[in-house]
A and B are shown apart, each in its own frame.
Chain A
């Protein structure tokens, strides 16, 4: 069974440029998450989707970050314009989304973003 797929794995851009990350979750997983992980820290949630609905985007910096999951399957996270402080690893995860017994999350390999 394929895991969570993310692309690209690495991205280097100049500040003020736009960048986009793509994620394809495990088949059948209704819940999709985007996290940002800074060096030496744990992942921090940016946005959570239940199918195509963003149900928790309270930590998403909406002035420059946007995300979509149009058909409830794959998802794109965009930053425009990027700032130096956006350098981090962006992780995508998915889970079955069982609200009674909270499921484990399966993580993709991440995209390491460097903003110069």
Chain B
């Protein structure tokens, strides 16, 4: 079963625009991670945010976590065509040591 649910399922933007995707989950977590998957590089870890953190930045990425709403968002600023990929959130639930992935958001960035 998949705990995380990304929204939207698909997103199409122009280069230079910002892209925001959301993730909702069901149970309490230790941390939440975002991964990117494209045909060239496979599934790659982007960023991890722990349950006691509210916001985290990495380059053009900004992740927020609201544990009271059981939701997270990933913001990609100044998007590039190379950002075209599927983005997955993955949760590490309390008491478990495995990740549960959502279905992903497919992002298309047009030049």
A residues near B, CB below 8 A? 33, 40-45, 48, 55-56, 91, 93, 99, 101-102, 104-110
Contacts and interface: CB of A to CB of B under 8 A. Distances in A.
Given A40-B103, A41-B2, A42-B104, A99 B42 contact: no
A110 B43 CA distance: 9
Contact of A42 (B2, B30, B31, B50): B2
What 9 A-B pairs have minimum CB-CB distances, sorted nearest first? A42-B101, A104-B45, A107-B43, A109-B42, A42-B88, A102-B92, A43-B101, A42-B102, A45-B98
Contact of A110 (B42, B50, B97): B42
Contacts of A48: 97-98
B78 interface: no
Say whether chain B's binding surface is mostly helix, strand, loop, or mixed: strand
Contacts of A99: 97
Interface residues of B, number: 22
Contacts of B104: 41-42
A101 to B, nearest CB: 8
Contact of B103 (A41, A55, A107): A41
Nearest to A107: B43
A50 to B, nearest CB: 9
Given A102-B30, A102-B92, A108 B42 contact: yes
Contacts of B99: 45, 105
A43 B92 CA distance: 14
Nearest to A42: B101
Contacts of B30: 102
Given A43-B101, A45-B99, A91-B42, 8 more contacts: A41-B2, A42-B4, A42-B90, A45-B98, A104-B48, A105-B99, A107-B42, A110-B43
Contacts of A55: 97
